[in-house]
Amino acid sequence: MSTFSDQRPRWAIFAARGTDGAILAVAAGLLCRVQPIAGLAVLVVGLFLLLSGARRHPAEVRAGPAFARLVALAAAALLPPSVLLVQYNSGKTRDVPLIAVACALLFLLVLARVAVLVADQHRLAVTDALTGLATRRAFEDRLRAPRRDRTFGVVLLDIDHFKRINDAFGHPAGDRVLREVAARLRVAAGPGVTLARYGGEEFALLAPGAGAARTAELADRVHAAVGGEPVDLGRGVRRAVTVSVGTALLPADTADPDELIVLADRALYAAKQAGRDRVVATASRRPTEADGWPAPLPRPRRTKLEAA
């Protein structure tokens, strides 16, 4: 199974290891100036901790070495102020400017390391671990984001009979299907389209500036791309995979971005009810109970106190 670490950018890995190495190098170099043997020992231990996980995948690094590296980095960051304090108490001021520069450099390196960690956490929050697509939360945030052009189309699609694949061939085969469908959607969607894994086997596309014609063309394209060729389930087994697709437009169908998802989901439901493996666009009118869709719950009225 693909994990978030599998899709971690190379620049993030190199930046993390680079800042770790720079922190240890600055601390070791400073200590070599004051105490050569201790500085050499710090350098050797630091290089061992960094290189111990360099050839392994980040997901395979155990908690023990990771914790040891964290302790080593913390000790290295605290070393220059400690040396500065010792020099001050002993009355030696020759190396004070050098130590001050080392402190400032380490501070900047620690900030860079924190920035890498924040970037990783942000990527983890907005990226689906299995497919590498955007998460539902990231998709909805982009859907609600204020923009000049409030015209866009939403395409929701669901893999037909996905549970049968899991039941017959196992969850690893289901994961293969999800990754392959995501890869085909990336190619078919093209640039400028936000693509997300919206649910278990449900995907969503957001096309800014797309009218009815472009949204319909996009829906047809992704529908054909997924069902064009069988998917390899592993062990030489290949099966055809199809999707049901529903579309909705803003502002043609609704002026509320949240309701746009509801309408696209209803169109997707209609595609399933009609036999699956097809594209259905949201009708101009709202679906009713006669269409097989439950009646929406009434919205509570706001009191004067709440309105104020």
pLDDT of the residue at 206: 95
**pLDDT for 125-144, tens place per residue?**
788 989 999 999 999 988 88
For residue 42, report the phi and psi dihedrals to the nearest 5 degrees. Answer: -60, -40
Question: Greatest CA span in the chain, whole angstroms?
Answer: 90
Q: How far apart are CA 266 and CA 211, in angstroms?
A: 19
- Runs of H (alpha helix) within 35-170: 36-52, 63-90, 96-126, 136-144, 162-169
pLDDT of the residue at 155: 96
For residue 66, report the phi and psi dihedrals to the nearest 5 degrees. Answer: -65, -40
Q: For residue 220, which of 198, 247, 197 has the smallest C-alpha distance?
A: 247
**pLDDT for 260-271, tens place per residue?**
999 999 999 999
pLDDT of the residue at 304: 38
Active site residues: 201
pLDDT of the residue at 218: 95
Q: How far apart are CA 270 and CA 244, in angstroms?
A: 9
**pLDDT for 274-298, tens place per residue?**
999 999 998 644 445 544 544 444 4
Q: Which residues contact 124 (CB under 8 A, 6 or more apart)?
A: 4
Regions of the chain with pLDDT less than 50: 1-6, 53-64, 284-287, 290-291, 293-308
pLDDT of the residue at 299: 37
Domain with CATH 3.30.70.270 in the chain: 136-291
pLDDT of the residue at 267: 95
| CA distances, 236 to each of 56, 160, 162, 171, 181 (Å) | 30, 21, 19, 16, 18
pTM: 0.64
Provide the CATH number for the domain formed by 136-291 in this structure. Answer: 3.30.70.270
pLDDT of the residue at 274: 93
Whats the size of the chain, residue-wise?
Answer: 308
Q: What is the C-alpha radius of gyration for the chain, rounded to an integer number of angstroms?
A: 28
